Amino acid sequence: MLKTILIGLTLAATIAFSYAHDGEAVELGYAPQTRNERGIKVTAALQRTSGSVQTWDIEVTLETHTKTLNDDLAKAAVLVADGKQYLPLAWEGAAPGGHHRKGLLRFKAIVPKPASVELQIRLAADPSPRSFKWLLK
């Protein structure tokens, strides 16, 4: 019985904490996240940030059936941690154009590791950036 109660409390605390950032969901772990707005679906998946990695990679996929994807993702993205912005080192993936693009946004590893990070991507047609948040600790 006590074990069941502890599991339930842990689950409730985890769910409550995942929604504690500015009223928007913050993903626990590195689960891929998707934002489907204004005819463009963007999926972001934070890769490994532990150990001695020199860069943090975020796999980004863009899909649309209505317009051409011409954005320079190295200029459209920023990583935010502890109120500080980090620009990408590079975009390694599909070049601008077409209706489907996939690649990696590479950022210098942040030391010390923050409790959470937020990837913001502002595409040309977006009035505000699309936000993807992950808890790291």
pLDDT for 50: 81
Q: Contact 100/118 with Cβ under 8 angstroms?
A: no
pTM: predicted TM-score of the whole model, two decimal places:
0.78
pLDDT for 82: 96
pLDDT higher than threshold 90 for residue 104: yes
pLDDT for 51: 76
pLDDT for 16: 39
As a whole number of angstroms, the distance between CA 91 and CA 131 comes to 18
| DSSP assignment of 4-57 | HHHHHHHHHHHHHHHT-BTTB--EETT--EEEEETTEEEEEEE---STT-SEEE
pLDDT, tens digit (0-9, with 9 covering 90-100), for 5-52: 444 444 444 433 433 334 344 444 588 999 999 999 999 999 988 878
pLDDT for 21: 38
pLDDT, tens digit (0-9, with 9 covering 90-100), for 47-60: 988 878 899 999 99
As a whole number of angstroms, the distance between CA 13 and CA 15 comes to 5
Q: Please provide the average confidence, as pLDDT, over all residues in the chain.
A: 84
**Mean pLDDT within 62-78:** 95
What is the 8-class DSSP label of residue 75?
H
Strand, helix or coil at 109?
coil
What are the chain's domains? Answer: 26-135 (2.60.40.1150)
**Mean pLDDT within 58-67:** 95
Measured in Å, how far apart are the chain's first and last C-alpha atoms?
29
As a whole number of angstroms, the distance between CA 25 and CA 51 comes to 26
Which is nearest to 106 in space by CA: 55, 60, 72, 42?
55
